[in-house]
Amino acid sequence: MSIDGTVNVDVGAAFYSASQGGLTIGSTGVVNVYSANTSNVFTGNGIIVNGSLTVASGAFLETTNGLNVSSSGTATINGNFFAENGNVSGSGNILVNGGSIYNTTDGTAGGAKTGVAFTGTNTITIENGATIYSNGSGTATINFGATNGAANSLIVTGSGGTFTTPITNFGAGDQIAFAGYTNPVTAPTVTSNGNGSYSVVLTGSGVTLSNVKFTSAITAQITSNGNGTVNVPGITDSTNPNDQLGECFLPGTAIATPHGAALVETLQPGDLVTTIVQGAPVAKPVKWVGYRHVKPGDLIDDSAHPVRIKANAFADGVPARDLLITSEHCILAGGGLIPARLLVNGRSIISDTSISSFTYYHVELADHAILLAEGLAVESYLDTGNRGNFANAPVPSLRPALAVRISAPHEAQPAAPILVTPGSVKPVWEALNERAGILGLRRSVAAPALTYDADLHLVTAKGAVVLPLRLTADKAWFVLPEGTETVSLVSRTARPCDTIAAYIDDRRALGVSVGEIKLHIGSNVILTTSHLSATDLAGWHAVEGPSHRWTSGRAELRLPKTARAATGILEVNILQAGPYIADVSPERAVAA
């Protein structure tokens, strides 16, 4: 069947060409597919485009024998194009503008997405959040275009080998993900091909991208390592054992959908995902997919690295393979949602400090829900006021820090209670830790030696160190030099989550808990309690009660004016100290 005029396939309509041997769009022909939620099936010899083919946003086009765009033709895919076991070929230009091109594993529209063979000499430009699936073969050029805040994605399916398809204009925010690749990356290397293109070897994974051209901004920053390889910002400076290279290459967490697993970065608004409601699977549409890239220095403490949940950590096949999530991402366990950081045991669940540059995604539904990631029940995105943390948020923040989420706004209620107290989390932690032992998993890092020695001392305004005159279990006495106005009470610090267990939801660096402070001058005793209430003293944590307050390791003490003219004895009541990590001590100046 040949078309030389204009054909519009409107909403609710279906266009079939089964008996005419496929569809040919002549050089003056125009076909616009507007239909939404309807299969527009072209069979026989597929579609040959010598004129113009446009698939509108939200529309769905299917062909049983591929798409051929000639040098005089153009194809614009704003919606979804299902190749149904066919190839994409020809020599004309194809623009995928926020849409997708894919095949499926079972040849049906609802099957799990897989790669297409791009066998022509076409230039296929993907822009504004577009996603295309490649089976790893082909000669067409994949060109990364503009973005609107959503990443442009090339998903490569297979099991390894050399990917020869030319890739051009690859830059920050773009991504290449690998589905079906099980071997981890140990050391990505890049070498110049001498013609402006580069070969990227994902060492350990069996994957080589042999023809990659970067954006001019990245190319200008490429430097030689002096050994035949080059350093590419965002790639070689960010080794990741999960097929992720800095901000660019993502491993692809498998999210359960009614049609099989889908990579999280390929999900789009309107896609159906599988949620768990009262123990049963229920399909619900995606509302929004947020993403953000994190590089060293953006975040601190636990948020600076993802949490790795090893395969089988919760049960056999749960998760099905190692799962990486952010430390605040909640897991359904123990009757509620528990932040991943509270379950870290150093064995089956670890904070992966080898990864300091990564991109994370959150999937939002109409309501907070439970998803299956690699078979593990985890939460969907819950808007607690941090939407601005994401790169594609309506108003993104500039280098925002991740806030600890304890409760949600009234209008964004969690799908299950959020559990953070030791009483509710400890039983889950202990069960997972016991299972890690059964699995034969050892600590990735040896448990640190602990001490209750606070290494307590004073430091004067001039930097002199004053060691204790006397120490007991709950008190310390110091001789103050004459004229002292302020001193700092210095000690070791430790976070209870590090020295006791991760299920202790206290990430503060605690020094010592201080009660009363007395200043002895001759026979006079001056009681000072300003440290228990003053909000402008440096080195103190927030006031918790009227009788004690924790220091943060270097706490400022202001002495009464009446005591500054004479030498005195400072008596400090220490209510609690430690445990601390033994090999971490405060720095000292010169002893007084």
How confident is the model at residue 250, as a pLDDT? Answer: 32
Q: Which two tokens stand for residue 255?
A: 């999210």
How confident is the model at residue 229, as a pLDDT? Answer: 85
Q: Which two tokens stand for residue 395?
A: 């108003």
Q: Per-residue DSSP letters for 507-529? A: ---B-EEEEEEEEEETTEEEEE-
- Nearest Cα residue to 80 out of 290, 265, 270: 270
Q: Per residue in 335-348, pLDDT tens?
A: 999 999 999 999 99
Q: How far apart are CA 46 and CA 64, in angstroms?
A: 6
Planar angle of CA 238, 241, 244, nearest 5 degrees:
55
Mean pLDDT to the nearest integer, 254-278: 89
Q: Which two tokens stand for residue 458?
A: 């004073």
How confident is the model at residue 377, as a pLDDT? Answer: 95
Which helix (H) or strand (E) covers residue 209, if one does? strand 207-214
Q: How far apart are CA 30 and CA 2, in angstroms?
A: 11
- Nearest Cα residue to 165 out of 215, 200, 204: 200
How confident is the model at residue 38, as a pLDDT? Answer: 47
Classify domain 254-438 at the CATH superfamily level. Answer: Hedgehog/Intein (Hint) domain (2.170.16.10)
Q: Per-residue DSSP letters for 385-405? A: S-GGGSTTSSS--SSPPPPP-
Q: How far apart are CA 199 and CA 213, in angstroms?
A: 9
How confident is the model at residue 238, as a pLDDT? Answer: 42
How confident is the model at residue 412, as a pLDDT? Answer: 55
How confident is the model at residue 344, as a pLDDT? Answer: 94
Q: Per residue in 156-186, pLDDT tens?
A: 877 667 888 899 998 766 777 776 655 555 4
How confident is the model at residue 562, as a pLDDT? Answer: 63
CATH 2.170.16.10 range(s) for the chain read 254-438
Q: How far apart are CA 140 and CA 168, in angstroms?
A: 11
Phi, psi of 350 (to 5 degrees): -135, 155
Contact 466, 460 (CB under 8 A): yes
- Nearest Cα residue to 62 out of 27, 24, 104: 104
Q: What is the pTM of this model?
A: 0.52
How confident is the model at residue 337, as a pLDDT? Answer: 93
Q: Is the pLDDT of residue 236 over 70?
A: no
pLDDT band at 244 (very low <50, low <70, confident <90, very high): very low
Q: Which residues pair with 550 in a beta bridge?
A: 513
Q: Is the pLDDT of residue 387 over 80?
A: no
Q: How far apart are CA 346 and CA 332, in angstroms?
A: 20
pLDDT band at 204 (very low <50, low <70, confident <90, very high): low
Q: Per residue in 466-503, pLDDT tens?
A: 999 999 989 999 998 887 888 999 999 998 888 888 88
How confident is the model at residue 397, as a pLDDT? Answer: 23
Provide the 3-class DSSP secondary structure of residue 204. coil
Q: How far apart are CA 100 and CA 258, in angstroms?
A: 19
Q: Per residue in 123-149, pLDDT tens?
A: 999 988 788 988 877 789 999 988 665
Q: Per residue in 516-561, pLDDT tens?
A: 999 998 888 888 888 888 877 789 988 877 888 999 999 998 887 7
Q: Per residue in 284-308, pLDDT tens?
A: 999 887 776 666 666 556 666 788 9
CA distances from 487 to 39, 101, 371, 478 (A): 76, 67, 53, 11
Q: Per-residue DSSP letters for 55-87? A: E-TTBEEEESS-EEE-TT-EEEESSEEE-TT--
Mean pLDDT to the nearest integer, 385-408: 33
Mean pLDDT to the nearest integer, 496-513: 88
